[in-house]
Structure 1
Amino acid sequence: MNDHIAGRHARRGLNRRGFLAAAGLTATVAAVATTTQGWAGSAKAAGTFKAPAEDVRHTRTWMAWPDRTAIWGSDLSGVQANIALIARTIAKYEPVVMCANSVSASKARSMCGSTVTVISSIPVDDCWMRDTGPVFRTDGSGGLDAVGLGFNGWGNKQTHAKDALVAERIAAYAGAPFTYADLVGEGGAIEQDGNGTLIATRSSLVNRNRNPGMSQSALETAMCDAYGATEVIWFDGVKGQDITDDHVDATSRFLAAGKALVQMPIASDNDAFAKDARQQYQILSTSKTANGTAMNVAKLQGPDYDKIRSTNQNFLASYANYYLCNGAVISAHFGDTTADQAAKATLARLYPDRAIEQLNIDSLGTGGGGIHCVTQQQPAA
């Protein structure tokens, strides 16, 4: 693959959204880094609670409204329109609560419409609710609680003084008991099947920018405590080539206990992320769940980056980064018509009882993320 294509396949490149130039980054990072180290290890998750699979019924979806020009540039119209479109689409199927800063709450209400609830009591730095929001858990007996993963701006790469508090504040709003996990990470870094098995990349978590001096074994214990799981399937991932250090939810997802999918690159793609995707498929295909069941792994064909609408070097074209809400799958299309249609057909086959909604979220993709990245489900207890 030539350098031009490799660059376009870089996904969430290190210069995405100019995060290193974010106003007040150094001072904010120093303050929040100290705080997050105090959070890690402050509490272990109760053994009776676990994070359910994402396809369970939801009470609501949580989202966040982007309004920082220091992060997104002077023109916020594209990303805000994408966030509003996602929120309105999900709101056709379940309630959506949008967290917005007080200065931009009115605009968020105007763009999202009456079907989306916008609140200004939980301030935010950015829109990546999958990473900043809490991991909600249920106990199977009507109980609900929440766990925070100590968000530190993907290893102190972006200002996050407000986002570091989002998980705890959402839990309080929802009336859910809250604890911090014994690790620092993000929701997009860990996928759960709701039945004891997790998947994750070492590049995101076994990383000194999140968990300095912490062994993989210690991380496994902390992850399992937080999610109510017993088994972690690891992928190597790709370190240092995107702001997340290769979140798993852009490539591999659980469909159900013992079932997963992996978005595969086209045959001519051979960059680090393409190799990583093929390795994830190989590892999953030869792995077993926490219950000893062999994994059944489906393929979701990714698009040809030469045929998508965006020419941005850091664009993320991930069909796998879809969101499950009550009765629907909310996914994306990118302009490679053949691949877009095939992805929709694959998702319809994998989720036969759900409507498949495909949205144009190119501005969000230019920022290096997708629909799953900006949503966080609150499961029904």
Structure 2
Amino acid sequence: MTLHIPAEWSPHKAIWTCWPSAADLWQENLVPARAEVAAMVAALIAPGPRGQAGDIVHVLACGQESYANARAWLAPQVFVHELDFGDIWLRDTGPIFAKQDGRPIALRFKFNGWGEKYLLDHDEHVGDGVARLAATSIQASQFVLEGGAVDHDGEGTILTTRQCVLNTNRNRTWTQSLAEAAFKECLGAQKVLWLGDGLLNDHTDGHVDNIARFIGPGRVMCMAPFGHDDPNQVQLQQIAFDLSQMTDSAGRQLEIIAIPSPGRIVNEQGEVVPASHLNFIIGNATIVVPLYGTASGDAALRGISSAFPQHRIVGIKSSAILTGGGSFHCITQQEPV
């Protein structure tokens, strides 16, 4: 049997996401986070600059209040489903949609709250619920993996980080060779490209979707440090260098495209937070890019626009969502045609 995970820029049947629902988790950021998610959904369903159809979007809402609120905020053509989940990080808790011998399948993995840091009711099972709503069969694997930990080029090359995937808080006995064997069997990987560490203070232990993204066959986007006090300066420079030494599964030397990082962003306690302009979601017609009110935003949008000339590029503030630890890519999962 042949397992294939299409690239994110391949045509979508739908995009799945979640509505911020837990008031005890989001507190004063609940309404602002809902506004940011609503803006993302509105951008994704809109037609593209050349008349391309936008995405069909499915939104999960946890509880009756959340369902009613989402239904009131979102356009009528958006599908809203009442389904229990812990929090909105569907990239990690949901399935990875793939094709097996050309037929759709939902790949499911164990989830342990990013190394048992945040264990919330229903997060371990929400992916099964999404698969049922999508009327897609499930293929379950017995190891821990979050979708944000792996990025796919659609041709069998996977980008990931040692900091996350080889962390003993996920799969205690994994070595690099064991991880590669599992990725070959369960993700259809032909080659795995390994980076080291992710962003400072990233509770996911270095998810790759914050630091490097495939944007086409043989093409990877990363970030350059922004500002003299960028807290990730050394790491971002190392990532760009490491990528420049890599080839993909087809033997192509990777073409590296860099956009600026957001620079130094801190929370109310003065702690550096893992903000990334790379945490964008690629829709059928629109790419939604997270912005944080920094001077780097315009340059990041220009760089992404140059890399995706057929798409509409929309920058949306993501500061409230970031208080939960992620952004637009973290809260979405694409379902390929």
8 A contact 1:65–1:124 mirrored in 2: no
8 A contact 2:230–2:263 mirrored in 1: no
8 A contact 2:2–2:188 mirrored in 1: yes
Q: Deviations over 1:29-82 (max 9, x none)?
A: xxxxxxxxxxxxxxxxxx412111100000111011222233223551111221
1:95–1:270: structure 2 CA closer, same or farther, 3 Å change rule?
closer
Aligned residue in 1 for 2:288: 330
State percent identity of aligned pairs.
29
Shift of 1:99: 0.8
Shift of 1:180: 1.8
**Selected match of 2:67 from 105, 111, 121:** 105
8 A contact 2:29–2:320 mirrored in 1: no
Query: More strand by proportion, 1 or 2?
Result: 2
Aligned residue in 2 for 1:194: 154
Unaligned runs of 5+ in 2: 47-53
* Structural mapping, 1:201-350, within 5 Å: 201-238=161-198, 241-266=201-226, 268-269=228-229, 271=231, 273-305=232-264, 313-337=271-295, 339-350=296-307
Unaligned runs of 5+ in 1: 1-46
SS in 2 for 1:76: helix
| Residue identity matched to 1:276 | Q
| Residue identity matched to 2:70 | A
Aligned residue in 2 for 1:31: none
Shift of 1:183: 2.4
Shift of 1:108: 1.4
8 A contact 1:61–1:96 mirrored in 2: yes
8 A contact 1:251–1:318 mirrored in 2: yes
| Residue identity matched to 2:125 | L
1:96–1:159: structure 2 CA closer, same or farther, 3 Å change rule?
same
Relative to structure 2, which stretch is displaced further, 123-132 or 167-176?
A: 167-176
Structure 2: distance between partners of 1:210 and 1:239 = 18
8 A contact 2:200–2:274 mirrored in 1: no
Structure 1-normalised TM-score? 0.81
Structure 1: distance between partners of 2:75 and 2:21 = 17
Q: Deviations over 1:76-129 (max 9, x none)?
A: 111122122212221221111111113321111112232321101x31110111
| Residue identity matched to 2:225 | P
Find out whether 1:165 has 2:125 as its counterpart: yes
Structure 2: distance between partners of 1:340 and 1:328 = 17
Aligned residue in 2 for 1:22: none
1:284–1:75: structure 2 CA closer, same or farther, 3 Å change rule?
closer
Shift of 1:309: 11
Shift of 1:217: 1.0
Q: Deviations over 1:266-294 (max 9, x none)?
A: 262464x3322222211111111112111
Structure 2-normalised TM-score? 0.91
SS in 1 for 2:172: coil
1:140–1:356: structure 2 CA closer, same or farther, 3 Å change rule?
farther
1:239–1:56: structure 2 CA closer, same or farther, 3 Å change rule?
closer
SS in 2 for 1:318: coil
Aligned residue in 1 for 2:49: none
1:224–1:280: structure 2 CA closer, same or farther, 3 Å change rule?
farther
SS in 2 for 1:364: helix
Aligned residue in 2 for 1:84: 38
* Structural mapping, 1:101-140, within 5 Å: 101-103=62-64, 104-120=66-82, 122-139=83-100
8 A contact 1:132–1:163 mirrored in 2: yes
Structure 2: distance between partners of 1:49 and 1:193 = 14
